[in-house]
A and B are shown apart, each in its own frame.
Chain A
């Protein structure tokens, strides 16, 4: 059974940082692109970033470029999202998902940016 479990969310002040993690199981993690999606409270889904199987290619939505970094550790079957210079508008539930058709999603981790 495929499982994706996010962790690392929390409350942080504007300008602060967080590191989100996503632990994958039930499939060969190193063979798949992976994606982060976020959803602010009461708002729609927003694609945030994705990363190639070997980590050699990474892509971001314009609003997070230069502030967020996606990475992965295939030896640990784990995906990460480093969030720096956080703003109030980054407050959201962050989901990791297996790329392509996004058929598999985690339960999400909540990030709240507030002073």
Chain B
């Protein structure tokens, strides 16, 4: 099988920049998607195809991918950005998919 690796947690002060990483051997060839999940809520897509921000997602969210690492950046993190963040990508000819383990982002 295939794995995407994320740091379990990180903390950032309000207004600072949070960079959430996701590493995987196939990322040079596969898109990464990012989801935000607040406590008790359904996941929300915050970044598509490495760096495409869906409608309604604040501009402070941006994405990038280089080599085997993808990064979701929150520039000027807000208290409401406190959540779990998951990366998601495909493997095995795109037929199978996997989530990263998730990163709990604390903004305080």
Q: Which residues of B contact A103 (CB under 8 A)?
A: 45, 48, 54
Q: Is the CB of B43 within 8 A of A105?
A: yes
Minimum CB–CB distance from B101 to chain A (whole Å) comes to 5
Q: Is the CB of B96 within 8 A of A59?
A: yes
Which of A13-21, A22-30, A40-48 forms part of the interface with chain B? Answer: A40-48
Interface residues of B (CB under 8 A from A): 1, 33, 35, 37, 42-43, 45, 48-49, 54, 84, 86, 88, 95-102
Interface residues of A (CB under 8 A from B): 35, 37, 44-47, 50, 57, 59, 61-62, 95, 101-103, 105-108
Nearest-CB residue, chain A, relative to B98? A47
CA distance A47 to B100 in the complex (A): 10
Nearest-CB residue, chain A, relative to B31? A101
CA distance A4 to B86 in the complex (A): 21
Q: Is the CB of A59 within 8 A of B42?
A: no
Known: A44-B99, A46-B99. A108 touches B42 (CB 8 A): yes
Pull 17 A–B residue pairs with CB atoms less than 8 Å apart, ordered by A: A35-B97, A44-B99, A44-B100, A45-B35, A45-B43, A45-B102, A46-B99, A47-B88, A47-B98, A50-B95, A57-B95, A101-B54, A102-B33, A102-B45, A103-B54, A105-B42, A105-B43
Known: A44-B86, A44-B99, A45-B99. A101 touches B49 (CB 8 A): yes
Minimum CB–CB distance from A6 to chain B (whole Å) comes to 11
